[in-house]
Structure 1
């Protein structure tokens, strides 16, 4: 029984680490997207097209996740 409990504990720790890594990756991707948006705004060219694409990406991200990270608008 002890070995099984220990193994279960290790599995839980591994799962938690994987979840944390995924969250960090998502945050990095969001930061990159924000930087790209800022660059597009600075350029001012093709801004409307970029905004439409960003909205589509955000809506698909909201469906995948709980939507906490991306505020509407």
Structure 2
């Protein structure tokens, strides 16, 4: 009788544990970024931190673009 009770309790616990709330699926990484860094992002498949490297490179390229735009505006202002 005791093994039957133990088995029943164990089965009940397993069933209740399996009925927990469903976990949210992990959000896919954003593939957004510059065209120049898309290949770097793909290196995650072989074990590199491609997303982190690409994000840093994207921010450096964005800063370079902003600086170039600022210099172009200053040159245009001097020409007028």
Q: Which has the larger radius of gyration?
A: 2
TM-score by length of 1: 0.44
TM-score by length of 2: 0.40
Q: Which has the higher contact order (CA 8 A, sep 6+)?
A: 2
